[in-house]
Structure 1
Amino acid sequence: MKKQLLITAIFMLGLFVSPLMSMPIPSLKESLDFINDQEKVQLDPNHLPEKVKNTIENNEEIKDLPITQAWQIIEEDGTSHFKVKFDIGGEELIKIYDPEGKEIID
């Protein structure tokens, strides 16, 4: 009796799982394309917009910190912002600025 119930359960599970197995699974690239709706371009810190550089130079907290990396992030709608990483004695400080040099606070 137990064998018959087990065989029936396995058969029913097969009926349920079978249609799921034939469904297409999106590739990783397709998933990433959906998630990634922005373009990230690494910049030389010297190529940041003047307004962003002026904001950094006028900020007493960060003006003397070395910039380790800078990016321009271009959104799908064409707007952009700039992400700048500073080195504070081996630790990172990340600031984000709009093209006018205004800091964007998350």
Structure 2
Amino acid sequence: MSKFQDLINSDQPVLIDFFATWCGPCQTLAPIIKDVKKNFGDDLKVLKVDIDKNQSLASKLQIKGVPTMILYQNGKQVWRQSGVVPASQLEAIIRDKTK
């Protein structure tokens, strides 16, 4: 868990995508997140967390469904949402929440 804290304790926004390999909406979201990361470049860190392989982290963060995205900045959760979000909306949310 300390490694997770190190990852989110950053001035750089960190978007975490909690997913499962068997989840259809997660597969829909994957290329959207890839495009968003490409558009933000080094201004955004993206981490993908497989909830089946990281059950303790998913449980600690109360991930109840997938996909769930959580945006962190400076170690604080600034946004969280479950489900698929269009790329343009996701980019606007990230810009708004990390000013």
TM-score by length of 1: 0.30
Rg (Cα) greater in structure: 1
TM-score by length of 2: 0.31
| Greater relative CO, 1 or 2 (CA 8 Å, sep 6+) | 2
Select the structure that is richer in strand. Answer: 1
